[in-house]
Amino acid sequence: MKFDRRLVIASNRLPVTAGVVDGRVSFVPSSGGLVRAMTSILRDSGGCWVGWPGCVSDNRVTNMLNFRASAENYSLEPILLSEAEQNGYYKGFSNEIIWPLFHGFSTRCSFDLDYWNCYRKVNARFARTIEATSSSEDLVWVHDYHLMLVADFIKTKGRLRDLAYFHHIPFPPPDIFEILPWRVPILRGLLQFDVIGFQTARDLRNFVDCVRHCLPDARLTHAEGKYEVSTNGHRTTAGVYPISIDYESFAGEDIDPPVLERVESIKKSLAGSQLILSVDRLDYTKGILERLSAYRLLLSRHPELREKVTLIQITVPSREDIPEYQQLRVRIENSVSRINGEFGRDAWIPVQYFYRSVSHTDLIAYYRAADVAAVTPLRDGMNLVAKEFCASRFDNRGALVLSEFAGAADELRIGALIVNPYDAERFADVLHDALCLSESEQAVRMHAMRLEIEARDVYRWADLFASDCWNTTEFVGVGGPRAAGAYY
């Protein structure tokens, strides 16, 4: 993928995470297909990545980042945050207001005015750094809910730029969104971007409905699956671009010996029982407790499955310093203990629970050892675990049980067994159906899903979104119709 223009990416986190231990700065590469795709694009196009390096403000981090980036075709620009800024902007507004609200958990929100003020302050700092590291010829591509006001701060100064935004999490309908005390400035801030991308058609529809509901002065037109929104003398194009994975990094048929060894080790530990696998970050949106309830019901209703099926629940630590997440971890571990105490036998543990991160090698091994992957969030923007599992199954075996509330359901319902994670009885039935699928039916379903993922991998996603940004901003670029005020 090669672009003719320089690219500036802005996200809450940089593609590397910095730490200062005993006076020494160290870095850990960030994981995920998005980082791999974006860094690949930046190497080709040249540009800059703006973000928080993951540690408290330390000027030594800036110097080390510049040294690391010197061998690349792009630079890394850190936003160094104080502990108070992390608490207000990130832990507070982003994760105690926007995260729960946009996932439909409004009762978990803490609408603190100080959080809002800190969020605005940090977004303004991102905007200043973006201005200092980009020109009017660049495309600035901002990622996710942490930075919804960046374009507003840039445009306020009257400096025209091509600004694009991708929203990775769900966007709520008006009856949820209107709970937000700052709903109007958030919408007006988003509408200062030239292009906005969403994961699903439902997210786009919700966004448009919120604009209609909260901004009566906005004018909307619809064509070719996209909306154009005109408000306060600015035009924004909004569309759907489902994010994906680096397919080839999971799909290779030439299994590395370490992966093969781990697959054999995992299967040996199961002593012949079928494996239901779930991999989640610790979060209340992931539906871990609901999944455990459905699994318990499965074992209760189908005693013939006892000692013949095992659930491996891998929970990746997240936000461990937040009391609500600490309490969630305790509730999950208590639920696991109850199931194992009720149904366990000397040679069989119904739920094998791991609270830790997993390496890429181990992750692929678990995917390839599993008979069923249960990916059942209560609400999720996309959920790439579902796509990773399918991509890993070059043998076209295994079944995917997928929540209808995951963005991935739009693309993968062609082969997945779709479930409502709140419906424990039906959930248990679907798990049973998945365990009983014939090899031929598994092959048909998995083949269809893998073809879909391969055709629309993360590089294709980035290419489509960036191409639409080029096309849109070429028409409304500096000196063109936007500068002259001609919007229709």
Tell me the pLDDT tens digit for each residue of 51-94.
998 876 666 666 666 655 555 678 889 998 999 999 999 999 99
Residue 2 placed within a domain: no
Residue 1 placed within a domain: no
Please tell me whether residues 140 and 52 are part of one structural domain: yes
Please tell me whether residues 404 and 469 are part of one structural domain: no
Q: How is residue 184 annotated by DSSP?
A: H
DSSP state string for 74-133:
EEEEE--B-HHHIIIIIIIIIIIIIHHHHTT-GGG----HHHHHHHHHHHHHHHHHHHHH
Task: For 135-179, write each residue's pLDDT tens digit.
Answer: 888 889 999 999 999 999 998 766 667 899 999 999 999 999 999
Please tell me whether residues 197 and 305 are part of one structural domain: no
User: Sign of torsion, CA 154 72 196 486?
Assistant: positive
DSSP state string for 190-234:
HTTSSEEEESSHHHHHHHHHHHHHH-TT-EEEEETTEEEEEETTE
Catalytic residue among 162, 203, 380, 457: 380
Residue 76 placed within a domain: yes
To the query of whether residue 103 is one of the catalytic residues in this protein, the response is no
Residue 466 placed within a domain: yes
Please tell me whether residues 333 and 475 are part of one structural domain: no
Please tell me whether residues 142 and 274 are part of one structural domain: no
Q: What is the pLDDT along the chain (488 residues), one digit of tens a residue?
A: 556 678 899 999 888 887 666 667 677 777 666 777 777 778 777 889 999 988 766 666 666 666 555 556 788 899 989 999 999 999 999 999 999 999 999 999 999 999 999 999 999 999 999 999 998 888 899 999 999 999 999 987 666 678 999 999 999 999 999 999 999 999 999 999 999 999 999 999 999 999 999 999 999 999 889 999 999 889 999 999 999 998 988 997 666 888 999 999 999 999 899 999 999 999 999 999 999 999 999 999 999 999 999 999 999 998 888 888 999 999 999 999 999 999 999 889 999 999 999 988 999 999 999 999 999 999 999 999 999 999 999 999 999 999 999 999 999 999 999 999 999 999 999 999 999 999 999 999 999 999 999 999 988 998 889 888 877 655 444 333 333 222 22
Domain containing 444 equals 251-455
pTM: 0.92
Residue 486 placed within a domain: no
Please tell me whether residues 357 and 464 are part of one structural domain: no
Task: For 335-353, write each residue's pLDDT tens digit.
Answer: 999 999 999 998 899 999 9
CATH number at residue 280: 3.40.50.2000
Please tell me whether residues 171 and 205 are part of one structural domain: yes
The domain total for the chain is: 2
To the query of whether residue 380 is one of the catalytic residues in this protein, the response is yes
Please tell me whether residues 214 and 66 are part of one structural domain: yes
Catalytic residue among 103, 146, 167, 168: 168
Residue 293 placed within a domain: yes
